[in-house]
Amino acid sequence: MKKVVLVTGANSGIGLALCERLLSHDTEGLHLCLACRNAQRAQAARAALLASHPAAQVDLLQMDTSSVSSVLRAAQEVKIRYERLDFLYLNAGIMPNPEFDAKAFFRGLFSSKAITMFATGEGILTQKDGVTPDGLQQVFATNLFGHFLLIRELEPVLCQEGRTSQLVWTSSSNANRSAFSLEDIQHRRGTQPYSSSKYATDLLSLSLNQHYNKQGLYSSVVCPGFVMTNLTFGILPSFPAFLWTLLMPVFWLIRVFTNTFTLTPYNGSEALLWLFRQKPEFLDPYAKYHSLTSGLGNNYTQPHKMDITFETSESLYSKLLQLESDTRKKVAETQPAGLSPKT
């Protein structure tokens, strides 16, 4: 039987590169579903994939992970279409309204932390978050909570006796403990919502393994490295396009000293593809699997232990369950009966 693979944020960047690589790896053995917010871009991505893999089976699913009702409707559609899901790649993410601290950048450029600054954006990036119509912080909802809600809704097709299914989260090297607080999991009061959401992703993955492994569902976390995607280009919106081109030789030079500069979506998807080939029950739940590219351009995957604790992950999980319950009740007051609270 074909493996059913759903990828969120699949219309561009790492998500689209992953889909291309998955089909190149096993066109006939896959049933691929692209879950995207923008229907037009999703159609273009599907056309591009079918152009290079005419025999591929590629479906589209419209879903905005920042919208609770959109996630619930999409999950219902998935359960109608598919009897099971083998892989769920939780890749959709945003970093809205980034602000670049030029002074901090030039100070860091000539310091011992220059490589780390380039690889993670630490110390030079802040963001102005927004609030969704559901009353949730936009980055938190898009990057974490929407995906959590999707997993909860898809339990019937993810957790089946005698089968294993795998969750693969796209995290970041920018997932810093200092940006996250259990007292403010949505990061309403901070200036680093992206970093907070990615650290929460690492925590949640660990807790999901604790609660779902016995049901055959496993969760892993990936860092794609420093990749030139639309999200990256948005970091410095005032930079003209040609300046990014001029910076590329600098990035290539940095790659000689650090293998985290994967640069292209193809390279950045290396760890996501690597996990597709593994038996999930043998993976380390405390590890983040990094896509790495050597100075010679060779891609490989390497695990690094995450800076997380089991106690914190369980506390976050409890808070997410409570937020899920509260959110469902609000949605149920205004939505059709099919979107009623989970029992």
DSSP string, 148-192: HHHHHHTHHHH--TT--EEEEEE--TT--GGG--GGGTT-SS-S-
Element (H, E) at 15: helix 13-25
Q: So what's the pLDDT on residue 246?
A: 74
User: Residue type at 122?
Assistant: E
Instruction: Determine the Cα–Cα distance for residues 54 and 249; give it in Å rounded to an integer.
Output: 36
Q: How confident is the model over 89-117, as pLDDT tens digits?
A: 999 999 876 666 666 666 666 666 655 55
Burial class of residue 297, CB neighbours in 10 A (0-12, 13-18, 19+): exposed
Q: So what's the pLDDT on residue 231?
A: 60
Mutual orientation of helices 310-332 and 146-153 as an angle, nearest 10°?
A: 80
Q: How confident is the model at residue 119 (pLDDT cuts 50, 70, 90)?
A: low
Instruction: Determine the Cα–Cα distance for residues 279 and 233; give it in Å rounded to an integer.
Output: 35
Sequence-distant (≥ 6) Cβ neighbours of residue 197 within 8 angstroms: 93, 139, 140, 142, 143, 144, 187
**47 beta partners:** none
Identify whether the C-beta of residue 161 lies closer than 8 Å to the C-beta of residue 220.
no
Answer yes or no: 286 catalytic: no
- The token duo for 156 is 């019937």
More confident residue, 20 or 173: 20
Whole-angstrom Cα Rg for the chain: 19
Mutual orientation of helices 193-212 and 310-332 as an angle, nearest 10°?
A: 100
Q: So what's the pLDDT on residue 335?
A: 67
Q: How confident is the model over 280-325, as pLDDT tens digits?
A: 999 999 999 999 999 888 999 999 999 999 999 999 999 999 999 9
Output the pTM of the full model. 0.88
Q: How confident is the model at residue 343 (pLDDT cuts 50, 70, 90)?
A: very low
User: Residue type at 92?
Assistant: A
**125 beta partners:** 100
- The token duo for 157 is 């097709």
Which is the catalytic residue, given 89, 194, 218, 317?
194
Instruction: Determine the Cα–Cα distance for residues 170 and 189; give it in Å rounded to an integer.
Output: 24
Sequence-distant (≥ 6) Cβ neighbours of residue 103 within 8 angstroms: none
Query: With the C-alpha atoms ordered 296, 15, 231, 308, is the resulting torsion angle positive or negative?
Result: negative
Instruction: Determine the Cα–Cα distance for residues 110 and 256; give it in Å rounded to an integer.
Output: 17
The domain defined by 3-334 folds into: Rossmann fold (3.40.50)
Every domain of the chain and the residues it spans: 3-334
- The token duo for 276 is 């597709």
Element (H, E) at 119: helix 114-120
Q: What integer best gives the mean pLDDT of the chain?
A: 89
Average pLDDT over residues 38-56: 97
Instruction: Determine the Cα–Cα distance for residues 127 and 142; give it in Å rounded to an integer.
Output: 15
Asked whether residue 271 carries a pLDDT value surpassing 90, the answer given is: yes
